[in-house]
Amino acid sequence: MEANECGPQGFPELKNDTFLRAAWGEETDYTPVWCMRQAGRYLPEFRETRAAQDFFNTCRSPETCCELTLQPLRRFPLDAAIIFSDILVVPQALGMEVTMVPGKGPSFPEPLREERDLQRLRDPTTVASELGYVFQAITLTRQRLAGRVPLIGFAGAPWTLMTYMVEGGGSSTMAQAKRWLYQRPQASHQLLRILTDALVPYLVGQVAAGAQIIFAKDGHFALEELAQAGYEVVGLDWTVAPEKARDCVGKTVTLQGNLDPCALYASEEEIGQLVQQMLNDFGPRRYIANLGHGLYPDMDPEHVGAFVDAVHKHSRLLRQN
């Protein structure tokens, strides 16, 4: 293929579509693999690129987002890229202040405390235009990928975003947000509607900008509902047994996951054995290999490489046998 041959929308033609074919339930030569947070702090080059600027300024720079998205693909033969961004750019676009506190994570100096606080939020229909920098990053990355692998887009679900906006940051109990559900049901519905009205055009805009697939993650409590919601792929965390998940969703949905990320602290030999077991459990059809959660900052890139290589190697052997 000539480098200047282009597919739809003027993007370079896709050379490795294994990930998309697995998502659509087609046969593949091997099981495709990528990692949540593959563009992350476990990579020294990521830390070096990020050191120069504030987290959300990084998110607003299409050039930097593109570079961070491509870094793991230079190291590992991954079958998909995922755009570097953050779910909290949506509350920011709605007018809320969000800062990234080192060692603590995201923080909202003025969270939503009362029903009247909803009046502070901008019109949700303006969010997509506020987030033009994400679309620019996606388009730039699609061009720079040069058809190597598909590009994944993402956004936080309405409830996830509501918990951050009400709690003022991450929370293990989500007690304040749940309190809203019980004490302010109408305001909760209103907030979730605002977020939905912001997210729909944002996700549509990501696809228009060049993102090729979006899926549901961490929804094991509602697997059957998710399977019927029209998603092609449902991501699983490591607490879900593959056979049980397959029974729940049937044969028309592709499953993704779900190795415990902490398994990457094991030796490379043991990682290979765990991957083999996971591939046997999920089977060769309608499956994309991944971790059950994102990579942690202290993980060894060599072990991430061992995980990716083990998926490719063992899934090819599985198909031969």
In order, the DSSP letters of 206-254 are HHHHT--B--B-S-GGGHHHHHTTT-SEEE--TTS-HHHHHHHHTTSSE
Q: Please count the helices (runs of H) and the strands (runs of E) in the chain.
A: 14, 7
Q: How many CA atoms lie within 13 A of 198 on its CB side?
A: 30
Residues taking part in catalysis = 37, 41, 50, 86, 164
Q: How many CA atoms lie within 13 A of 149 on its CB side?
A: 20
Phi, psi for residue 92 in degrees, rounded to 5: -60, -45
Task: State the CB neighbour count (10 A cutoff) for residue 109.
Answer: 9
Residues paired with 169 in a beta bridge: 107
Are 161 and 90 a contacting pair, CB within 8 Å? yes
Are 194 and 132 a contacting pair, CB within 8 Å? no
- Interacting residues of 122 by C-beta distance below 8 A, sequence separation 6+: 93, 94, 95, 130
The CA distance from 171 to 163, in Å, is 8
306: which 2 tokens?
A: 């061992």
Phi, psi for residue 151 in degrees, rounded to 5: -115, 130
H/E stretch holding 49 reads helix 44-51
The CA distance from 65 to 283, in Å, is 34
The CA distance from 234 to 207, in Å, is 18
